[in-house]
Amino acid sequence: LFSHGQIQHPGKSTYTNKCAQCHGDNGEGIKSLTPPLANADFAMQNFDSLPCWIKNGMNHPIKVNGVEYDQPMYPNEIDEIQTANVINFMSSEFFNCDSSISSIWVKQKWKGCE
């Protein structure tokens, strides 16, 4: 629906403005510094944690597709609607699945963030 140039996915601009600087325009990551999002096993296996990582960042080593990354991810100042949109965008573009999570789901996940 969104990839044929007619209508841009609502999460694409947020991704471009808030995420692509570190994770790459196509989710490819940056060498050994920033993990990829495209086909990222860690992100797909920990999908329910994405809202917390986006909101609060992450500051511990992780292994993505067999490669260890130990750079901090900084928090993003985006609301629950933008967060839902960017996760749905990443799902369709990088995880090869379509999610239709809502801002309500994001807010529920935020309540469980440490």
Residue pLDDT, tens place only, 83-100: 999 999 999 999 988 889
Q: Note the pTM of the prediction, 2 decimals.
A: 0.90
Using alpha carbons only, give the angle 100, 37, 24 rounded to the nearest 5 degrees: 115
Exposed / middle / buried, residue 15 (Cβ in 10 Å: 0-12, 13-18, 19+): buried
Residue pLDDT, tens place only, 35-82: 999 999 999 999 999 999 999 999 999 999 999 999 999 999 999 999
Whole-angstrom distance, CA of residue 95 vs CA of residue 89: 9
pLDDT at 74: 94
pLDDT category of residue 3 using cuts at 50, 70 and 90: low
pLDDT at 99: 84
